[in-house]
């Protein structure tokens, strides 16, 4: 028997598999497709103050090893989400994490504050890596000073644990992560999507109206794994790895690199019950490798490097 439990310090998970924001809806959409109680955590679709329609279609473009998306973060708004969270919490005991978005810093703070007293919300994840934020000319995750300012403003206002989600589209992700940690972040999640484009050869033009879109899927796993490993070695708070995870072996790679937990994203779109399969694969792999608990092997590649 293996132990897949994870302790983030501020939140205990039955296993390290969390569904990523944007690919698992609000959780309720998957209730008939997977037992939600099997999951380590559920991150809800990104939320703003008010309802949003998102970008005009096309929104998704498939490549041979991943997908580009230009969805534009459509959503139901914070008030309606509160009702959804209540319904979801009645269906499962799995921790619920709200993904907080904002066009301006003030909106981030307002949305985070709105859910701070909700007993059904276990943590907040700040989506500071989305280019929809224009204050100061950059999205916060692309500048260490902007990151520090926003995270500190929110941490000064809320009591709930705050996970800061970072972008891979920066020169030095470690300095951004350190800035978030200094501002009071309880954990880091990374990475969000890589920027890419798609061109329609028949139409002789860009596929997306916004031209640039976010790339995710199996192709980004080695890139994400490298960035997670870098950040793990520069901060003292837990890191949650994201990027191209589709199997139990992928999960174990991120744990070996030092991550406490992972989020599965694009795989949910093609295999709604993937979380169950990945958990089973992880348990079987742990048993075959004689790993009794994940804590034994977290960051083991670094330990072995210096032995």
Which positions are annotated as active-site residues? Answer: 130
13: three-class secondary structure by DSSP:
strand
Structure-token pair, residue 286 = 């742990």
Give the C-alpha separation, 68 to 228, whole Å.
21
Angstrom distances, CA of residue 113 to CA of 161, 171, 180, 198 = 12, 31, 18, 38
CB 214 within 8 A of CB 193: yes
Under a CB-based contact definition with an 8 Å cutoff, are residues 300 and 46 in contact? no
Q: Are 127 and 101 in contact (CB under 8 A)?
A: yes
What is the β-pairing status of strands 41-43 and 96-100? parallel
Q: Is the dihedral of CA 90, 270, 128, 40 positive or negative?
A: positive
Distance CA 12, CA 225 (A): 23
Q: Could you tell me if 121 and 115 are in contact, meaning their C-beta atoms sit under 8 angstroms apart?
A: yes
Ramachandran assignment for 158, one of left (phi > 0), alpha (psi -120 to 50 degrees), beta (any other): beta
């Amino acid at each position: 028997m293996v132990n897949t439990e994870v302790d983030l310090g501020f939140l205990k998970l039955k296993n390290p598999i969390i569904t990523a924001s944007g690919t698992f809806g609000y959780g309720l959409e998957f209730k008939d497709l997977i037992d939600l109680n099997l999951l380590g955590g559920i991150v809800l679709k990104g939320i703003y103050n008010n309802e949003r329609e998102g970008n005009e279609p096309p929104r998704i473009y498939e490549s041979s090893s991943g997908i580009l998306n230009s969805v534009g973060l459509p959503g139901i708004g914070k008030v309606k989400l509160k009702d959804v969270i209540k319904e979801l919490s009645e269906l499962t005991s799995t921790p619920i994490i709200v993904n907080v978005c904002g066009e301006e810093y003030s909106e981030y703070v307002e949305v985070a504050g709105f859910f701070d007293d909700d007993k059904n919300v276990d943590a907040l994840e700040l989506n500071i890596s989305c280019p929809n934020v224009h204050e100061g000319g950059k999205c916060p995750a692309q500048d260490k000073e902007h990151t520090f300012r926003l995270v500190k403003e929110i941490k000064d206002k809320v009591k709930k644990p705050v996970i800061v989600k970072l972008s891979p589209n920066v020169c030095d992700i470690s300095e951004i992560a350190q800035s978030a940690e200094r501002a009071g972040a309880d954990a880091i999640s990374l990475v969000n999507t890589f920027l890419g484009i798609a061109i329609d050869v028949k139409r002789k033009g860009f596929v997306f109206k916004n031209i640039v879109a976010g790339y995710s899927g199996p192709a980004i796993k080695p890139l994400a794994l490298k960035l997670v490993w870098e950040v793990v070695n520069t901060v003292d708070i837990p890191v949650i790895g994201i990027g191209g995870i589709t199997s139990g072996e992928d999960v174990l790679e991120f744990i070996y690199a030092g991550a406490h937990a992972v989020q599965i994203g694009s795989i949910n779109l093609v295999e709604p019950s993937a979380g169950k399969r990945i958990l089973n694969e992880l348990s079987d792999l742990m048993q075959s490798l004689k790993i009794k608990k994940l804590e034994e092997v977290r960051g083991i590649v670094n330990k072995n490097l210096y032995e």
